[in-house]
A and B are shown apart, each in its own frame.
Chain A
Amino acid sequence: MFKYLKQLTSLVAVVAVLFTFTTESMAAKKSKTLKNTQKKGFVRCGVSQGLPGFSNADAAGNWTGVDVDVCRAVAAAVLGDANKVKFTPLSAKERFTALTSGEIDILSRNTTWTLSRDADIGLTFVGVNFYDGQGFMVRKSSGITSVDQFKNGISACTNIGTTTELNMRDFFNSRGISYEPVAFEKADEVVAAYDAGRCDTYTTDKSGLAAQRTKMKNPDEHIVLPETISKEPLGPVVRQGDSVWEDIVRWSLNTMIEAEEYGITSANADSMKTSDNPQIKRLVGAEGEMGAAFGLDNEWNLRIIKQVGNYGESYKRNIADTGILPDRGPNELWTKGGILYVPPSR
């Protein structure tokens, strides 16, 4: 009997080591950002300083917008409550530093996904929540109806630290037009200066133009020119180096888009649990183990849909019903002629 004691103890030791190893690796799966977020009890989210439809605070300090909803979805998934978000308004100039320095954990601030941003500065883009392009706004009274009418000496107001500044140079250079760039740090100041007549045109993403137009003294006096001079895929960004957190944010956004595809809304989400379609059941946490890989429970996606709604609801509430861009354009599902297409949740 004692003959095997030695072997027995080593077996126990090996099992114990294996066990600690598995629990260790399960804990390691839980990302550091996720752990910190759950400890703090709120998601730290960087947003714009006020862009109607995307991220805008009302007089009472309640944030709304499609960018805001991405953060709310993450909060619903990891904390169970879409309202447990701390929003930090950031200028275009501050946004990346705030993220890389760890002041915020998600940057959801109409930020264009480009190669150099993704590769150079320690950031990872997780997806696209709005397909946009840069355009120009002019006064109706100027008689300009196309960018072909721009002449040498035109002055253009814009924000610093954006892809806009670079696109603008490419655009005017390729057409051989000399221009005066007037670049401000905050969007409100760009609008004020353009509105005052300092600049002949105001250039930024077209969604931004549509949103800022509502802030002008007299919105009807301005038009957005039909031309689009660049591709601007806007989406949420996270820090490099925490792939689990990156996955959580990516799939929170994907869940919202896929929910719309399958007709799951905040109103009918609970009843969808008994659906015959396994894909729908996976999206409301009634089938499969869809949360374990992230270190979350199985109803994380159901909470997103119930508390925030699907992408279509978010778009309607924030962008269409507010009159900013009633037409969804490319931001329509691929099944309805748009380009919103996300990998399946399974």
Chain B
Amino acid sequence: MNFKLKDIIPQLITVLAVVLVFGFFTYNAQVNMENRGIDFGYGFLSQESSFDVQFSLIEYDGSHSYFRAYLVGLLNTILVSVIGIFFATILGVIVGIARLSPNYLINQFAAFYVEFFRNIPLLLQIFFWYFAALRALPLPQDAEPMFGVTYLTIKGLFVPAFIWQNFNIFFYSVVAAIIAIIVIRTHAKKVQESQGKQTPVLLISVGLILILPLLSFLIGGVRLSFEVPVLKQLATTSFIYEGGVSLPPELIALTLSLSLYTATFIAECVRAGIQGVGKGQKEAAASIGLTPNQVLKLVVMPQALRIIIPPTTNQYLNLTKNSSLAAAIAYPDLVLVFAGTALMQTGKAIEIVSITMFTYLTLSVSISILMNWYNKRIAITEK
């Protein structure tokens, strides 16, 4: 026996207390629901939802089930999170580096941006972009085309749709190009390590990713055409664009506000990461003759990333959770569609809220696991 009773007892008591509290709440809920004649069960998920949703990535209308409505909401949440994380990361890295720029104007502007957007409540920013900025957009019939075919209007962004022929061949050509690039990079690294010779990897990569898909057009029979949005009159002063792809203004406002807000935090993570790398490291790198670009790429960034990744993961989680503020501006995310409309139509509060909570938990844990894996991969391997 290498454990003592006095170590075990507090643990047992804690577990018991947690189980009891949980049990009490479950029992309490059961009794109260019974008293009020409310049934408990997940059977409603297969019932017809009979409400429509504005924007969906999968085929859906009111004749589908509540479960399908749940998937619609979930996918919309994931969509806005992925786009938000993508733009927040790019903007955050740029602003973070800009804050360290020796140029006074650039670093002051970056600092102003961070302080400004970080200190205004997110919900307020969402309202600003949706209601204030939306009102300034033109009606569909007054919109000036951008690049001749794209229209930004109060009813959303209307862009041309791609119509592909033999899309699979094009897709394979891109996959082939990516595989070729990975092989060449690994090879180039080996060559450099064994012979000290450098290969212009970037040039070759860019060439590959351009030439292979181009070939698929020239000899693979791939054709690409566009379906341009066309103005359609609904009534004397009501217009809409038909054809092409339409992005609802709710999605645009939400992505914009989430990205701008979260980017400020990521920028601070990036700045802290870069500043966290010892000055001696840079000087040592410079003294062995590396160019400033090489110093950043080979010495500073690999070390900075180890500091940047963990807090940035938190920001990714925050962005995903904050996307639930979508409900305020009618973007049909998980909270609006499932914990909103579906809850109201079925009255299954406990079931739906528990499913929603579990879903957000799963999303957050998945992001955490992914980022931890990446963090481990780039951690210093001690030899």
User: Which of A's residues lie within 8 Å of B, judged by CB?
Assistant: 92-93, 96-97, 100, 117, 120-122, 138-139, 141-144, 149-151, 153-155, 157, 160-162, 165-166, 168-169, 173, 179-186, 189, 192-193, 196-198, 200, 239-241
The CA-CA distance from A240 to B35 in the complex, in Å, is: 8
Q: How far is the CB of B78 from chain A (nearest CB, A)?
A: 20
| Contact pattern, B 344-376, Cβ under 8 Å of A = 1, otherwise 0 | 111101000000000000000000000000000
B62 → A minimal CB distance (Å): 5
Complex Cα–Cα for A59 and B341 (A): 31
Residue from A139, A179, A185, A198 whose CB has the most chain B CB atoms within 10 Å:
A198
Per DSSP, chain B at the interface is mixed
Contact at B240–A155, with CB atoms within 8 Å? yes
A200 / chain B contacts, CB cutoff of 8 Å: 234-235, 238
Given contacts A100-B347, A142-B238, A189-B330, 12 further A-B contacts (CB under 8 A): A96-B344, A96-B347, A120-B347, A122-B347, A144-B238, A183-B332, A192-B131, A193-B134, A196-B131, A196-B154, A198-B155, A240-B37
Can you offer 19 A-B residue contacts whose CB atoms are under 8 A? A96-B344, A120-B346, A121-B38, A122-B38, A142-B234, A142-B235, A142-B238, A155-B240, A160-B327, A166-B50, A166-B51, A169-B51, A173-B62, A180-B54, A184-B329, A184-B330, A186-B328, A197-B139, A240-B37
Contact B340 A93 (CB under 8 A): yes
Count residues of B near A (Cβ-Cβ below 8 Å). 44
B336 in contact (CB, < 8 A): yes
The one of A149, A155, A182, A185 that contacts B327, using a Cβ cutoff of 8 Å: A185
Q: A180-B54, A189-B328 are in contact. Are A122 and B33 (CB under 8 A)?
A: yes
* Chain A residues, CB < 8 A from B187: none
B36 within 8 A of A: yes
Instruction: Tell me whether A185 and B336 are in contact in the complex, defined as CB-CB below 8 angstroms, given that A153-B234, A161-B344, A241-B36 are known contacts.
Output: yes
B223 at the interface (CB under 8 A from A): no
Give the distance to chain A from B50, nearest Cβ to Cβ, in Å. Answer: 6
Binary per-residue interface labels of chain B (28-60) against chain A in the complex, 1 for a CB within 8 Å, 0 otherwise: 000001011111000000000011111000000
Task: Among B62, B139, B235, find the residue whose CB has the most chain A CB atoms closer than 10 A.
Answer: B235
**A239, B330: Cβ atoms closer than 8 Å:** no
- Using a CB–CB cutoff of 8 Å, the interface residues on chain B facing chain A are 33, 35-39, 50-54, 61-62, 131, 134-135, 139, 154-155, 232, 234-238, 240, 242, 248-250, 327-330, 332, 336, 340-341, 343-347, 349
Which listed residue (B155, B330, B343) contacts A183, Cβ 8 A?
A: B330
Query: What number of residue pairs across chains A and B have CB atoms under 8 A from each other?
Result: 134
B344→A160 contact, CB < 8 A: yes
In the assembly, what is the distance between CA of A122 and CA of B248, in Å?
Answer: 37
Complex Cα–Cα for A160 and B131 (A): 18
CB pair A97–B349 under 8 Å, yes or no, is yes
A251 to B264, CA, bound (A): 59
Query: B62 is contacted by which of A92, A169, A183, A184 (Cβ under 8 Å)?
Result: A169
B187 to chain A: closest CB distance in Å? Answer: 52
Distance of A168 Cα from B341 Cα, bound (Å): 14
Judge whether B340 and A161 touch: CB under 8 Å.
Answer: yes
* Contact among B237, B328, B332 for A143, CB-based, below 8 A: B237
For the complex of A and B, the 3 pairs showing the least CB-CB separation, nearest first, are A121-B347, A161-B344, A143-B236
Which residue on chain B has the smallest CB distance to residue A180? B54
Also in contact, A160 and B341, with CB within 8 A (given A180-B54, A183-B332): yes
Query: Once the chains are docked, how many angstroms separate the CA of A96 from the CA of B340?
Result: 12
Determine the chain A residues whose CB is within 8 A of the CB of B332 once the complex forms. 183
Provide the residues of chain B in CB contact with A168, threshold 8 Å. 52
Q: Is the CB of A198 within 8 A of B134?
A: yes
Task: Say yes or no: A181-B54 contact (C-beta < 8 A), given A93-B343, A151-B235, A161-B340.
Answer: yes
Residues of the A chain whose Cβ atoms lie less than 8 Å from the Cβ of B154: 196-198
Please indicate the chain A residues that have their CB under 8 angstroms from the CB of B240 in the complex: 153-155
A182 B347 Cβ-Cβ under 8 A: no
Across the interface, name the chain A residue whose C-beta is closest to B63.
Answer: A173
A151 CA to B327 CA, complexed, in Å: 27
In the complex formed, the residue of B with least CB distance to A95 is B344
Contacts A184-B329, A185-B336, A198-B249; is A93 near B236 (CB within 8 Å)? Answer: no
CB distance from A100 to the nearest CB of B (A): 6
Whether the Cβ atoms of A241 and B35 lie closer than 8 Å is: yes
A184 proximity list for chain B (CB < 8 A): 328-330
A160 and B234 contact, Cβ closer than 8 Å, known pairs A165-B341, A189-B329, A241-B37: no
